[in-house]
Structure 1
Amino acid sequence: MALKGYDIIKGKEIRGSRLRLPRAIAIHRTAQFDSDIKIKECRINSKGDEIIIMSFRALSIPDEPVFPILKEEDVAIKCTKEDLILPSVFALRKDFPVGLPHSNAMPYAHPVSLCVSDVPFSDYRLQFSAYDFLQSIRRWFDLNSIGELHEPDRPLEVFYGSHIVATIKNFQNCGCFGRFHAISKNTAILEYTERKSATHYIFPFKADEILSNGMAEIPEIIGDLNRITVCKGNPLLNVIESLFYNHQALKIDLPLFLPVLISQKRAIGLDAESSELFFIVFKKKICDIALQAKKQSHDSFQKWLYSQQIDIVMTLPPVSRELNASSNGLGNLFKKVSFIGAGTLGGNIIDHFIRQGVSEKIVIIDDDSLLPHNIARHVLSPEYVMQSKAKALKDVYRSIEYQKVDSIDKDVLLFNNNDKQRAFENADLIIDASTSIAVERNLALDNSYGDARRSSVFLNPKGTELALLYEDTERKYRLDLLEMTYYRMLIVDERLNDHLSVSEKQRTNSFSCRAESSIIDYDNVGLLASIASQQLKKLYASNDAKIAIWRISAGNSVVDYINIPLSDWQLFDINGVKVYIINDVISIMKEQRLSSGTLETGGVFFGCYDKDRQIIYVLHSHPAPIDSKHGPTSFVRGCNGLKEVQDSINLKTYYQVRYLGEWHSHPSGSNTPSTLDKKQFDEMSTDHLLQNIPFVQAIIGDNGVYVNALI
């Protein structure tokens, strides 16, 4: 068979019943029940990857397609043993056109690799459906054939005066050597360093308190330092002079650099009012001055020494976490804060936390690089383009003394135990700004992240609204449950109808099919990031959970605040499948049961699910359509308007919430399922499993709610 010539899909042919990878089994089973798909063969390669070759028939291709796609196309679907990526899809026709929209760049031309989803697999896998996956392949062919696969709509007087001002860098590693270098005509930096890169030998002093004379002195020669005493009355000039009589001085071929801390008081008997650090910079090397001391008499040397020129440099406090905190009027709120995501929003919030000095240690986690189009709305400057965002941010703040910043440029979902210990051990707060559902869900449900509270912050697609999810201290309201409550409010609160509407897109240069970037106003990013930073700190002082949205009004820059009430959940464990039903839905079921009197009634469940963890979340119930049939012992749910309901929910939640199942009432008696109820569950759950999606059935009676589910 000619298809076997492609190395990428080579393997030993096996029967479909011999497939062992869950993803491959689901795809194979679903394809068997699709009359427009013909399975040709299955293979397994030496790595344990499984390949299904099938033909997609009756494709919706026009008579004159934009791209030469046929009404029937053969594809290979490759499922990897590790299951870390979406199953690969290859168009197998030898003359299949290359370079079509949403084709993956490969080191070979054929077979053509199709990108059938622009959602990261870590997010997609949570609600992976073999039926949806196969339909996405069909959609790829259909829309590319008419040229519409890429949508068109796809940030006291100072003691000494000087014209030079400097500060200190790397103060924590202070020693005898430093590099003193000018930044401009009037500014400079002293950086403590190793001898090999030093420009000066450093000898610091703390002066005795000095009575202020109300004016700044401007020394020009060493003799002008005669007013300063150290160690309770010892003239500084005598101390300086003695340095050059030390035999070791002949070996130091660097100029002398004297940091002197001078405290002034207004009058005798009063406490000092100011403390200022000055740098006294010598022009000549220590060894050259020591040589003069050796050659001349004491009086001659002293006269010569006191006439030597010096520079006086005023200093500002070194950049430090403590200075940042005091400048912002804030104290030390955290020992350690871990940030996941250093993109547009995350980078801005990290910048706030570090500049405010509120945490002794900041850990930055992001495996992404800074791309050219990111510069429009990222805190990093262009010099860091194509570098790791996490490492670049650490580099930006490296000169802030006593501010510990650690960077990990690795996907948090691939962390091993050592990574987690480094990132999250003893953390007070974990802030997820990754915009990844998978990361947020992992933080919520994986106990290996420690005891820290978790929070998730993200912008809506247009960048005009900020959403914040914040766990309580006891973590009763986990991030995943807060996420589901948030989705519910998107459905039922009219104020949020357009919250997740898509923004305009711009193309970016990349080999990825996700080479699009939302167009976001950086003014909005700055404003909303400030709110996020403020609220993340404020809410930490409270023990309570929080869900909230802040919305910017473009016309007048007013920010509206929308508080989303918390909801409790009931957990039903059905043979290891955990079904969470929000109390709001259970209340609706009770109300509708009572209002229906002696007749059965029911409704439709909507929500989310997580196949990896066997969890189903029921967060919304739509009442029985008007064409439903109600009887004393029967209920047949109608269909009138349900498609429109699902379409509306798709738009409001950006396709995160889907149909999950059914509920009905027993007007009198228990919630025990009847024979008919059991038969309905078997039929509908089987149908759902063929599509690789879960099914939930609930019955409400006098004794509460009965739940059955398969996933």
Structure 2
Amino acid sequence: MARDLLGTLEAWLLEQLSQGDRVILLLISIPKRRTAEGAIEAWEHWAFSPTEKIESLAQRLGLVERDPDTGRFGRLLTKAPVENITEIALYGWRVVQRLDQATARLYAGNPADRDASLVGIGAGAIGSNVMLNTKRAGIGKWTVIDNDINLPHNLVRQIHPDAMTGFPKAETTALLLDTCLAEGGDRHIRANFLAPGAAAEAVREAVGAADLTVDFSASPSVLGALSDNAEIARAASFFFGPDGQDLVVLAEDKARTLRLDEIEACYFLCAGTDPLLADHLASARTDLIRYANACQDLTRSLPPWQVQTLSGIAAGSLLSLVEEEQAVALIWRLNPRSGGVMPMELNLEPVRRHEFDDFRITVSEAVIGTMRRLREQRAPNETGGVLLGSFDLSRRVLHVVAALPAPPDSRQSPTYFIRGAKHLKPLVEGIEARSVGSIVYVGEWHSHPDGAKVGPSDDDEEVFKHLEMHLDPTGAPYVMAICGAHETWIRAGWHSWRIGEGAMPHG
């Protein structure tokens, strides 16, 4: 091995005599095997620099000699004897490798054994920081979709430096991701996700090929579009609360048994009913700052340390999502004074889906479970209450997420139920206010006793006509549900002529 190395070095030195005043770097790669005949399992790299320049080193190795008259080196026809080769001093260098994604995962304590193809929609405060953090942790061949440009006030909260002001967010974010580690491969699409125009095919291919598509835009329309897209593998939504002190992560399971909008409806219900979230959506600030002279050129202050704290948590959550399969709804609440963070995990229930003509209704299993439990508690009397939910008229979707118990002034008997109203109006209006109008009254439910058919009676038909008369003019959908012993019957209406009904067997 030594003779081969020396022979290779000598031949190379003779070729480089014209560069004789330079110093060389010797890089030696040594294969590592468990046995002499075994497969190479790894390589060890060493680097050295001789103290001699090329000409002097060639002379010490007996390859050339200096002409005493001209001072020039000439090649010897016969190699001179080499003496005291051990006296040629070598400086050792520390050899380090550029960081690739696999090694980054090791240093970051990331247990993932593979990379992931990811799409990020929105490269603003949360999007740009989360994408870069996951990249540093060795995860993410990102495709960044955004049609905005970097503005000066963005520098406080985004990853872009001043030199990138005025340039497209998608392009500059992808560039910063691409230069983070040794590997590249990150892409950008400068487009509005909802109206991509000429980029429509590129957007479709990107989300279709991704392991996870993440909405960082905080746009309900984007979240809805991802929920309705049957071609994507999985969708998630990451956003800050209105005051920038809360982080929300909503994500589908890998089988997409729960869609993103169904998880969002559960999140809004929790925001409207959980005392720990009483001010979560009601704390939007009004101290806006004008950064230019157009009507909509307004922003709010957002301390960089808050952005970094919550974005770091978000990146860690995204890394977990890539490895895990279940759906999640997570909230972290940051206390700016103490720096403490309170995590919350919301309970998610499966849903029953109903397609009625050109609109869709989902009913949470929690709703069915509540109606069945209240029915059993009040038996043999009938009971009932109101239904709460959220809807998106542009997508023709209604989510029924809660069934409230009968108000205390309700009349209940084995043959009829008349819902009362005591305490009901402030309760429903309070939930609507805390959910910023997302969870509202959508209809009525009541039970039928054992032995009775689950379908509507003449009195029940009158109740549905009442719903139609009062809610139809508002353009909102409406629902009536009847909970029986073995199944729950449901009827929904929208614009009076769109009426559908069906039964949901109890498990």
2:215 to 429, 432, 438: 432
Question: Which residue matches 1:704?
Answer: 487
Question: Which residue matches 1:600?
Answer: 382
CA distance in 2, matches of 1:607, 1:263: 66
1:682 is paired with a residue whose SS is helix
Q: How many residues align?
A: 450
2:251 to 470, 479, 483: 470
CA distance in 2, matches of 1:503, 1:302: 80
The CA deviation at 1:337 is 1.5
CA distance in 2, matches of 1:272, 1:318: 15
Question: Which residue matches 2:454?
Answer: 671
2:194 is paired with a residue whose SS is helix
Question: Which residue matches 1:482?
Answer: 263
Does residue 233 of the first structure (1) align with residue 6 of the second (2)?
Answer: yes
Aligned ranges 1:450-461 → 2 under 5 Å: 452-461=233-242
Does residue 442 of the first structure (1) align with residue 225 of the second (2)?
Answer: yes
* Cα RMSD after superposing both structures: 3.7
The change in CA–CA distance for 1:406 and 1:492 in structure 2 (over 3 A counts) is same
Question: Which residue matches 1:96?
Answer: none
Question: Where does the alignment leave 5 or more consecutive residues of structure 2 unmatched?
Answer: 37-41, 54-66, 76-91, 495-507
The CA deviation at 1:438 is 1.8
2:162 to 360, 364, 382: 382
- Asked if the contact 2:46–2:95 (Cα under 8 Å) also holds between the matched residues in 1, the reply is no
Question: Which residue matches 2:278?
Answer: 497
- Asked if the contact 1:577–1:710 (Cα under 8 Å) also holds between the matched residues in 2, the reply is no
The CA deviation at 1:317 is 4.2
2:149 is paired with a residue whose SS is coil
Question: Which residue matches 2:129?
Answer: 348
1:12-57 Cα deviation digits (max 9, x unpaired): xxxxxxxxxxxxxxxxxxxxxxxxxxxxxxxxxxxxxxxxxxxxxx
The change in CA–CA distance for 1:559 and 1:426 in structure 2 (over 3 A counts) is same
1:593-626 Cα deviation digits (max 9, x unpaired): 3333444332111111133443211112233334
Question: Which residue matches 1:637?
Answer: 419
Question: Which residue matches 2:46?
Answer: 275
Does residue 649 of the first structure (1) align with residue 431 of the second (2)?
Answer: yes
- Asked if the contact 2:258–2:351 (Cα under 8 Å) also holds between the matched residues in 1, the reply is no
Question: Which residue matches 2:56?
Answer: none
2:186 is paired with a residue whose SS is strand
CA distance in 2, matches of 1:675, 1:316: 82
Question: Which residue matches 2:319?
Answer: 537
2:442 to 660, 679, 690: 660
1:334 is paired with a residue whose SS is coil
The CA deviation at 1:696 is 0.9
1:409 to 190, 200, 210: 190
CA distance in 2, matches of 1:453, 1:272: 39
- Asked if the contact 2:46–2:93 (Cα under 8 Å) also holds between the matched residues in 1, the reply is no
CA distance in 1, matches of 2:70, 2:103: 46
Question: Which residue matches 1:681?
Answer: 464
The CA deviation at 1:703 is 4.0
CA distance in 2, matches of 1:702, 1:235: 89
The CA deviation at 1:462 is 2.1
CA distance in 1, matches of 2:272, 2:412: 27
* Segment of structure 1 superposing worse, 602-611 or 678-687: 678-687
Aligned ranges 1:27-426 → 2 under 5 Å: 232-234=5-7, 236=9, 239-243=12-16, 260-262=26-28, 274-276=45-47, 300-302=71-73, 317-318=97-98, 320-322=100-102, 324-330=104-110, 333-359=114-140, 361-399=141-179, 400-415=181-196, 418-426=201-209
- Asked if the contact 1:334–1:358 (Cα under 8 Å) also holds between the matched residues in 2, the reply is yes
| Alignment-mate amino acid for residue 481 of structure 1 | E
The CA deviation at 1:258 is 6.8
| Alignment-mate amino acid for residue 73 of structure 2 | Q
The CA deviation at 1:406 is 0.3
The CA deviation at 1:690 is 1.5
1:516 to 286, 295, 298: 298
The change in CA–CA distance for 1:321 and 1:690 in structure 2 (over 3 A counts) is same
Question: Which residue matches 1:117?
Answer: none
| TM-score, scaled relative to structure 2 | 0.77
1:608 is paired with a residue whose SS is strand
The change in CA–CA distance for 1:322 and 1:445 in structure 2 (over 3 A counts) is same
The CA deviation at 1:315 is 8.0
CA distance in 2, matches of 1:447, 1:297: 83
2:310 to 528, 534, 559: 528
CA distance in 1, matches of 2:69, 2:106: 49
1:173-214 Cα deviation digits (max 9, x unpaired): xxxxxxxxxxxxxxxxxxxxxxxxxxxxxxxxxxx88xxxxx
1:659 is paired with a residue whose SS is strand
CA distance in 1, matches of 2:153, 2:303: 13
CA distance in 2, matches of 1:336, 1:298: 68
The change in CA–CA distance for 1:552 and 1:622 in structure 2 (over 3 A counts) is same
The change in CA–CA distance for 1:278 and 1:561 in structure 2 (over 3 A counts) is farther
The change in CA–CA distance for 1:539 and 1:398 in structure 2 (over 3 A counts) is closer
| TM-score, scaled relative to structure 1 | 0.57
| Alignment-mate amino acid for residue 222 of structure 2 | V
1:376-415 Cα deviation digits (max 9, x unpaired): 2112112222321111112224434322110112122224
CA distance in 2, matches of 1:447, 1:259: 56
